[in-house]
A and B are shown apart, each in its own frame.
Chain A
Amino acid sequence: MLHSVGIDRGRTNVREVSVNLLSGAASAGMAAPILGQYVALPSSGLTFRRMFLPRASKAIRQQVITEELSYSLPFPLTEAHYGAVEMGEEAWVTVAADAVVHPMRDLYPKAQLEAEPLCYLRAARAAGIQQALVVDFGASKTVFCGVENGQVGTVRVLLRGGEALTEEIANETGLSVDEAELKKREEGTEHPTVRRFFQELLEEALLPSPLPYRRVLICGGGAATQGLLHLLSQLWGSDVDVEPFPLPGLLQPTDHVVAYGAALAGRPKAMRLQMQHSFQYAASSGEKLSLAPLIFTGLLIALMIAGIETRLSGAEQKRTELRASLNEALVQVLADPETLSEKDIVSQLRARLEEQRNTARNSPARIMNTLGQISSAVTGQEEAELFSTIFEDNLLKLEGRATLKQAEEIRAGIGKVLVDAEQVKTRPNKDDLFLFMIEGKLPQP
């Protein structure tokens, strides 16, 4: 099963929590295989801003964030990373100085960086809590994080925690630090210094009164202080339920809240911050953009090459197929048609046809048939006779003897057989008959 791992590098030790990405089951430590690693950046190193962003492209929204932050941060933008959770027109922006980010990056080069308040939020939402105040009593700091309508609200960080309390007890009682630590754990809020310390923390947090939350979830090592729940309930009044942060399985609210919340960032659709963007990168994004025209040109060229080559290949194939089918048809009448050009094909075909027609036109069979048809036109006329027939150059000349009327009828009859039949000569003979000469061309076969 795949896991995401959350890491919380606390003052006293490193806590790791693994969350099964499918079942959601959580366990302390690092379970394999790991799909994603998320490291929580401590709230003390973060700056938070809630901003309204225009409905615009990602680049413009990024530019707005940069400009908004440029005049409100205590360090140069070029030395910071940021991440933003955008919800419609609103963005919750977290900024961290590179001095905070780089040590984490060096320790966990493959991990993604998450903000501690988002870890509280994800852990609370995983427990079904949409509205609560999370108070993390750490060794070196105390964090107050409001969860409001399922989002991160107010975040207050006080740079005083359990270590400061131990030191205060040691100073007041003259004990060593270890003895003071032991006394703090044994007596809890019964010790006046402890009680005063927590009262001062709540006052310094400048939380509104009455507290606008019905639930307070406490976590961190200080949450184990004896009598703390009772003390906080007294301080905030009976309307507020103070309880340890609810966690699944064997996870302890004193140790695992942040690591668990970080691990939850790997779950599908989880709200992520990912402190991956540096302002330096954003400012120099123009350098990256400069590749866009080249990439676009490259793509355009590739598309044009593909288009032209496809069309050319299709045209070549069509031409080859046309020529092959033409050669196949011509091979029965022309030798080696593939060696002929397109013009030669037609001219050779025409010449071949003309030659064959001439052969047919001047064949003995055709002349014999024509003579047979003509003789029937002559012999049908009484007294008419034919005594000379000459064929030359497709011209047939007939000479005979008949009456004038018969000669005309013979011409008309021959005209049905020959083309352009005409009576070229008619002259009277010594009898009553006339000598006639008719000529005409043999028709096309």
Chain B
Amino acid sequence: MSTQESMDKNLLAMVVSIAVFVLFLAVYVMPRSGTLRETRESIESLQSVRQEVAVLLPEVVRTVPTTPLPQPDVRTWVANNSLGGIEKNLVANDGYLEGKGTQVRLRRLRPEDAAKFLSDLTRVRLVVDRMELQDSDRDGRWDLEISLKVPE
């Protein structure tokens, strides 16, 4: 075998090696590197989310309501549990939002009756939509109009 033939074979082998390597880069390395990059970005994103969650989660846990929802509906619950002793002051207890809310009107309440009424409401999970408390006669008797509903 001559030296020239040997060099030709070496050259051919090098060209084939380079072609194989380039093909390998195109078919394997580039797609897999893309996947690796996406995975790393996903990890960075997860770490960022985890930092935010670390701040938000304790606050969410702290503010989770512990009281039950009023049953069977707000109007009935108020009628059964908050109006004891002040039935005669009741003007109206009108349900709305398909039982999820009620508007209560009471007249001429003593301050301690108003406080007891409001205090009774804290036993269940309710929010105040609107409340008006007025002593129109300036005689220490209060008219109360309050719209209550369960939180959304």
- List the interface of chain A (C-beta within 8 A of B): 283-287, 289-294, 296-297, 300-301, 304-305, 308-309, 311-312, 315-316, 318-319, 322-323, 325-326, 329-330, 332-333, 342, 345-346, 349-350, 352-353, 355-360, 362-365, 367-368, 371, 385-392, 445
Residues of B within 8 A of A309 (CB): 32
Q: A286-B6, A326-B53, A367-B118 are in contact. Are A353 and B60 (CB under 8 A)?
A: yes
Partner of A355, one of B6, B133, B152: B152
Q: List 11 A-B contacts (CB under 8 A).
A: A286-B3, A293-B16, A296-B17, A301-B20, A308-B32, A316-B39, A319-B39, A326-B50, A362-B128, A363-B122, A364-B118
Q: Which B residues touch A386, using CB under 8 A? A: 135
In the complex, what distance in Å separates the CA atom of A356 from the CA atom of B128? 14
List B contacts of A352 (CB < 8 A): 60
Measured between beta carbons, the chain A residues less than 8 angstroms from B133 are 371, 388-390
Q: How far is the CA of A390 from the CA of B143 in the complex (A)?
A: 11
Q: Are B53 and A322 in contact (CB under 8 A)?
A: no
Q: Is B112 at the interface (CB under 8 A from chain A)?
A: no
Write the chain A residue with the least CB distance to B126.
A364
- A191–B138 Cα distance when bound, in Å, is 168
B33-54 CB contacts (< 8 Å) to partner A: 33, 35-36, 39-40, 42-43, 45-47, 49-50, 52-53
Q: B57 to A329, Cβ gap below 8 A?
A: yes
- Verify A294–B56 contact, CB threshold 8 A: no
- A357, A358, A388 pick with most chain B CB within 10 angstroms: A388
In the complex, besides A287-B6, A287-B9, A315-B40, 11 extra interface pairs with C-beta distance below 8 angstroms are A285-B6, A292-B13, A293-B13, A312-B32, A319-B42, A325-B50, A329-B53, A329-B57, A333-B60, A333-B64, A387-B134
Give 1 or 0 for each of B122-137: 1 = CB within 8 Å of chain A CB. 1001111111111110
Complex CA–CA separation, A315 to B39 (angstroms) = 6
Q: In the complex, are the beta carbons of B121 and A364 less than 8 A apart?
A: yes
A53 to B57, CA, bound (A): 79
B13 contacts A291, CB within 8 Å? yes
> Could you tell me the distance in whole angstroms from the C-beta of A349 to the nearest C-beta in chain B?
5
Determine the residue in chain B with the shortest Cβ distance to A305: B28
B13 touches A391 (CB 8 A): no
**A315 and B53 contacting across the interface, CB-CB below 8 Å:** no
Bound-state Cα–Cα, A226 to B24, Å: 79
B interface SS class:
helix
Partner of B63, one of A322, A329, A356, A362: A356
CA distance A297 to B16 in the complex (A): 10
What residues of A have a CB within 8 angstroms of the CB of B29 in the complex? 304, 308
A356-B12 contact in complex given A301-B21, A311-B36, A345-B49, C-beta closer than 8 Å: no
B132–A349 CB distance below 8 A: no
Residue pair A385, B151 in contact (C-beta under 8 Å): no
Interchain CB contact under 8 A, A390 and B132? yes
Cα(A296)–Cα(B3), bound, Å: 22
A387 CA / B36 CA spacing, docked (Å) = 70
When distances are taken between beta carbons in the complex, the residues of chain B under 8 Å from A363 are: 122, 126-128
Indicate whether B97 reaches chain A with its CB closer than 8 angstroms.
no
B60 touches A289 (CB 8 A): no
Whether A286 touches B7, Cβ cut-off 8 Å, given contacts A294-B17, A318-B43, is yes
**Contact present for A293 and B17 (CB under 8 Å):** yes
Q: Is A330 in contact with B53, judged by CB distance below 8 angstroms?
A: yes
Residue B65, interface by CB 8 Å: yes
From known contacts A290-B12, A333-B57, infer whether A390 and B36 are also in contact, taking CB-CB under 8 Å.
no
Q: Is B79 part of the binding interface, using a Cβ–Cβ cutoff of 8 Å? A: no
B24 CB, nearest partner CB in chain A, Å: 5
Among B46, B49, B63, the residue within 8 A (CB) of A353 is B63
Would A333 and B61 count as touching, CB distance under 8 A? yes
B98 part of interface (Cβ distance < 8 Å):
no
Cβ of B81: which chain A residues have Cβ within 8 Å of it?
none
Complexed CA–CA distance, A386 and B114 (Å): 15
Closest 10 CB pairs of A and B: A286-B6, A362-B127, A293-B17, A364-B121, A297-B17, A290-B9, A356-B63, A290-B13, A365-B122, A359-B151
Is B87 an interface position by the 8 A CB rule? no
Query: A304 to chain B: which residues have CB within 8 Å?
Result: 24, 29
Contact A284 B128 (CB under 8 A): no
> Which of A290, A294, A390: most chain B Cβ within 10 A?
A290
Also in contact, A326 and B49, with CB within 8 A (given A290-B6, A301-B24, A353-B59): yes
Q: What is the 8 Å Cβ interface bit string for chain B, positions 77-94, against chain A (1 contact, 0 not)?
A: 000000000000000000
Contacts of A353 in B (CB 8 A): 56, 59-60, 63
Residues of B within 8 A of A315 (CB): 36, 39-40, 43
Q: How far, in whole Å, are A59 and B34 apart by their CA atoms in the complex?
A: 44
B36 touches A388 (CB 8 A): no
User: Are A312 and B132 in touch, CB under 8 angstroms?
Assistant: no
Residues on B with C-beta less than 8 A from A362 are 127-129
Q: Indicate if the CB atoms of A345 and B10 lie closer than 8 Å.
A: no
Chain B minimum-CB-distance residue to A342 = B49
Bound CA–CA A352/B28 (angstroms): 45
Complex contacts, B1 vs chain A, CB 8 Å:
283-284, 286-287
Smallest Cβ distance from A126 to chain B, in angstroms?
A: 42
A335 to chain B, nearest CB (A): 13
Please give the distance in Å from B129's CB to the nearest CB on chain A.
Answer: 8
Cβ–Cβ < 8 Å partners of B39 in chain A: 312, 315-316, 319
Is B14 among interface residues, defined by CB-CB distance under 8 A?
yes
Residues of B within 8 A of A388 (CB): 132-135
